[in-house]
Chain A
Amino acid sequence: MKNYLKLLPLLALGIVSCEPELDTPIDESGFYTNGEADFSNYVALGNSLTAGYADGALYITGQVNSYPNIMAQQFAKVQETQMFNQPLMADNAGGLLAGGTQITDNRRVLAVGTNGSPAPMIYTGMQPTTDITNVLSGPFGNMGVPGAKSFHLVTPNYGDISGVAAGSANPYFVRFASSPGTTVLADAVAQNPTFFSLFIGNNDVLSYATSGGVGVDQTGNMNPASYGPNDITDPQVFAGAYSQMVTALVGTGADGALVNLPDVTSIPFFTTVPNNALVLDAPTAASLTGFFQAVAGIFAQGAIQQGASPEQAQALAAQYAITFNAGPNRFLIDVPVSPTNPLGFRQMTEQELLVLTINQTNLAQGYGSVVLTPEVMQVIGLLQAGQSITPEQGQLVLGAVSGIDDKDALDTQELTAISTAQASYNATIKALATANGLAFVDAQAVLKQVATGGVVFDGGTLTSQFVTGGAFSLDGVHPTPRGYALLANALIESINQTYNATVPKVNIGTYGTVTLNNEVQ
């Protein structure tokens, strides 16, 4: 028997050599190529989109599904790479604390309300535990800083906790800045990256847009330190900061990819609440039309009393005799009072947008058209009966008009300011990519496709429809993991083309969309 035991090692050898091996295994080097690029030390710069922010917060699983992390995992299939580190949050609740006090909201989840229909709500299933006083030690490959604008990445002290309350510093960068005085760019360059991606500039117009254009278009103002948080960045300031970053990053010898900026009209934050959601039946439409005829009449009468000629008065009043029809009608918005629009409201035009966060309850009660109280109806009744009314009664009617506030809408002027700045930023990005031989990623085109028709994948079609479309998370601005995977694929495709590499894409169907949870209040 002992003699046969000697055969056991031989047997073991036989077992080992019988492991299955594929003819062309992808996990051995040489199957994919990095081409002329070197992905061994990848650093991603950007804002919330780079950080993996979603559902109105930054949280671990969002970061795990950030496009830089997805790309880094794919890079690792192509060549030996360094571990891609991210400044992970402490939990999946998402809120930030500063010295124990919560300073940002938790993430949103899709919850079923008491009315039985699902809606995004703030997750309250656990207390947030990520305190910005707990500074992580890097370096981190993912340098995405939620909220950052272009010039913030080159602004010293952007990670200094003492500036957070005043708004001169960013709580997310505080968490992983190498020192309070450093810049995002300096920390990126210090890592001596072999490859970088830069996706910055969205917030230079986006915060203006999501605030309904309450900020200032700072075009012409070259001092970003004087900008408010919701202002549009001057295109030259943008170009200056952007080229400074590209120069510094290319200066390390790194290859890279520059990502342009998608249209604000690509995101559900502006496309979910239609500007013609004032759906009326025929009697209501007729009564609203009658109401605005009354408004026009009251206005004309008042104008004549204040000395205008009847022709002038009628011409100005005509704009207020708005006709409503059965079916969808556009809302009214408030505009600045002017000689040509003395009452300061008008009906929205086709292109103008409403924000996702507009108060739906108020809309249902007349916000965006007229708040018809019994008292107002009484006055209308008097007018329809041909009776005269007092000036106070006339004011009651005019005051019932409830145009949508500036903060809840993007009007034509604001949209033009946004698209002008964005077009200028995108021209800068494209020119710098070409000048430096970097990969150029047309995220604008990718998201436009998602918004118009959608992107077909193996499990359906990815669209920008809020909640159900799959591309956008519950804040209506930031992508879902599936949306980020699509973005990662766009970067990979451009990188492969530019550098003759064959980095494999990911299957976006294997990435999740919105998170269901009912632990909400």
Chain B
Amino acid sequence: MKKLLLLMVFTLATVVTYAGGYRVSLQGQRALAMGHTGVAVVNSAELGFFNPAGLVYLENRLNVSAGVSGVFSDVIYQNDEFGNSYRTDNPVGTPLYLYASYKVNDWLALGLSVYTPYGSAVKWEDDWSGSHLVNNIDLAAIYVQPLVSVKLSKYLSVGGGPIFVTGSVNFNRNLNRTLSDIDGNRSNVTVDASGVTNWGWSASALFSPTEDLRVGFNYRSEIILDAEGGEADFQNIPNSPLTPFADTKFNASLPMPAELTVGLSYRFLDKWLFAFDYNQTFWSVYESLDLDFADPNIPDSTNPRNYKDSSIYRFGLQYEATSRFTLRAGYYFDESPVQEGYFAPETPRNDSNNFTGGLSFNITDNLAIDAAFLYSRFEEVDASYDYYQENGQAVPFEGTYKSSAFVPGLGLTYKL
């Protein structure tokens, strides 16, 4: 157990995408096993993410949930016209979560949540065919949120709290498709910014008309991470006044879009629970990734993204097999926010079908191990990014992509 905890601590900073855009839906093993539903499931401190209004309904005074996932995600690209074929070598991502809640009295609970809902780590081979768009990217955002949960009546509770975000980004790409130094090394730039912070909030409600039926609502606000004064490191630039790319500072904004969730859960046949969540992620805020370089000699970089709002439909099922074992399974359909012609290989995601499963094992009355896995299945897709330009002329980057992700995860649930 100690080793597991150590692993969780040491891997705090790495996060990997596997969902639409750079949203990472791995905010609780119990929820994940049920298709990452949870806005209307009162089960554990995972409510600290899914619906803080539900925390006040937890039976125990102190509830803690923590966990980590291992994200094995890869993308394959090919262009059969030119015979180019590449596969990402993404690092294994280890997003984690920690939720705690404390019931002050019958109508009030307080909580603290730490989670990583956005992030991306994609690593293509350096100088691959799409290297003018991205060689590699590592994007991470950690959300820290104090929570309050208030029971307004037997049927209704509300919750929420302010969110503090600290994020970092490291992004490398070649300056264009051909520029290189005297020895043929491709000219590239790494932009790096860390400790980028901002504030947001979330608010939620839980309505429990009967003992078996609950209806939940959760809204998490948009948070724009404004990286100011990040480092732009130019490498392999030709020694020429015609290419005045000296290391400089940059400003850029990256949105963590707002997310609205509504859903329900229904308990039936005593030991069964069905859950449905609908997510709307307001990706349309992500219009363009613009790098504003401080050095006036260096042209600013404009990269249209034009994401659209996207939906996710989640279904989950839980079965309390024995007093020690609870089994879970789920499915969700994740709609990509990427529109046709905007398929950039830094977040190469199309629609996906996702299958989940898992179980909880109660070691003692107070402590349970939660295990979950996720398999994301993407259709093969012919796609292009049409907004890269050379000398004012659009040069589409086209090919066939296929992604997959396999995510096993472990967590602990403690209650006292």
Contact = CB atoms under 8 A, between A and B. Distances in A.
A27 B85 contact: yes
Given A21-B76, A92-B184, A460-B393, A110 B240 contact: yes
Contacts of A357: none
A18 B375 contact: yes
A517 interface: yes
Interface in B371-409: 373, 375, 378, 380, 390-391, 393, 395-396, 400, 402-406, 408
Interface string A110-122: 1110000010000
Interface string B70-93: 001011101011110101000000
B239 A519 contact: yes
B238 A517 contact: yes
A26 B78 contact: yes
A460 B393 CA distance: 7
Contact of B406 (A15, A22, A26, A515): A15
B80 A31 contact: yes
Contact of A109 (B75, B82, B182): B182
Nearest to B183: A92
Nearest to A73: B83
A20 B81 contact: no
Interface string A505-520: 1110111110111110
B83 A26 contact: yes
B72 A15 contact: yes
Contact of A516 (B75, B83, B240, B375): B240
B403 to A, nearest CB: 6
Contacts of B87: 20
Interface string A484-521: 00000000000000000000111101111101111100
A509 B74 contact: no
B78 A25 contact: yes
Given A22-B380, A25-B78, A32 B83 contact: yes
A32 B82 CA distance: 11
Interface string B173-195: 00001111111100000000000
Q: Chain B interface residue count: which class?
A: 35 or more
Contact of A509 (B81, B183, B395, B405): B395
A459 interface: yes
B269 interface: no
B78 A14 contact: no
A112 B182 contact: no
Contact of B178 (A14, A505, A511): A511
A515 to B, nearest CB: 6
A516 B72 contact: no
Contacts of B74: 19-20
B390 A518 contact: no
Nearest to B129: A510
Contacts of A110: 240, 242
Contacts of A123: 182
Nearest to B403: A20
Interface in B214-261: 238-243
A517 B182 contact: yes
A518 B406 contact: no
Contacts of B402: 20-22
Nearest to A459: B390
Main secondary structure, interface of A, reads loop
Given A18-B375, A20-B402, A60-B184, A112 B241 contact: yes
Contacts of B373: 14
Contacts of A32: 83
A460 B390 contact: yes
Most buried by B among A20, A74, A509: A20
Contacts of A25: 76, 78, 85
Contacts of B375: 14, 18
A74 B129 CA distance: 14
Interface in A123-174: 123, 125
A289 interface: no
A21 B395 CA distance: 27
A504 B80 contact: yes
Contacts of B243: 516
Contacts of B405: 18
B208 to A, nearest CB: 35
Given A20-B404, A458-B395, A512 B182 contact: no
B241 A64 contact: no
Contacts of B76: 20-22, 25
B369 to A, nearest CB: 9
A61 interface: yes
Interface in A1-55: 11, 14-15, 18-27, 31-32
A77 interface: yes
A24 B375 CA distance: 22
B324 to A, nearest CB: 13
B81 A459 contact: no
A504 B395 CA distance: 20
A512 B83 contact: no
Nearest to A24: B80
Given A459-B177, A513-B178, A517-B239, A504 B184 contact: no
A510 B132 CA distance: 10
B391 A74 contact: no
B393 A518 contact: no
A477 to B, nearest CB: 21
A501 to B, nearest CB: 12
Nearest to B406: A18
A61 B239 contact: no
A480 to B, nearest CB: 10
Nearest to B75: A20
Nearest to B396: A458
A513 B180 CA distance: 10
A460 B242 contact: no
Contacts of A19: 74, 404
B184 A61 contact: yes
Contacts of B241: 112, 518
A515 B182 contact: yes
Interface in B28-76: 72, 74-76
Contacts of B81: 504-505, 507
A111 B395 CA distance: 28
A118 B238 CA distance: 14
A255 B403 CA distance: 41
Contacts of B380: 22-23
A118 B241 CA distance: 10
Most buried by B among A22, A64, A109: A22
Given A460-B393, A512-B178, A18 B240 contact: no
Most buried by A among B74, B179, B240, B400: B240
Given A18-B404, A21-B76, A27-B85, A510 B184 contact: no
A110 B238 CA distance: 11
A518 B178 contact: no
Contacts of B129: 507, 510
Given A18-B375, A26-B85, A459-B393, A516 B242 contact: yes
Interface of B: 72, 74-76, 78, 80-83, 85, 87, 129, 177-184, 238-243, 373, 375, 378, 380, 390-391, 393, 395-396, 400, 402-406, 408
Interface of A: 11, 14-15, 18-27, 31-32, 60-61, 64, 74, 77, 92, 109-112, 118, 123, 125, 458-460, 482, 504-507, 509-513, 515-519
Given A459-B393, A512-B178, A517-B182, 19 more contacts: A14-B373, A18-B404, A22-B380, A22-B402, A25-B78, A27-B85, A60-B184, A64-B184, A92-B184, A459-B390, A459-B395, A460-B393, A504-B82, A505-B82, A509-B395, A515-B180, A515-B238, A516-B242, A516-B243
24 contacts: A14-B375, A18-B375, A19-B74, A20-B76, A20-B404, A22-B402, A60-B183, A61-B184, A64-B184, A74-B83, A92-B182, A125-B239, A459-B390, A460-B391, A460-B393, A504-B80, A505-B82, A509-B177, A509-B390, A510-B178, A515-B182, A516-B238, A516-B242, A517-B181
Smallest CB-CB A-B distances: 7 pairs: A504-B83, A61-B184, A516-B240, A512-B178, A18-B406, A77-B83, A20-B404
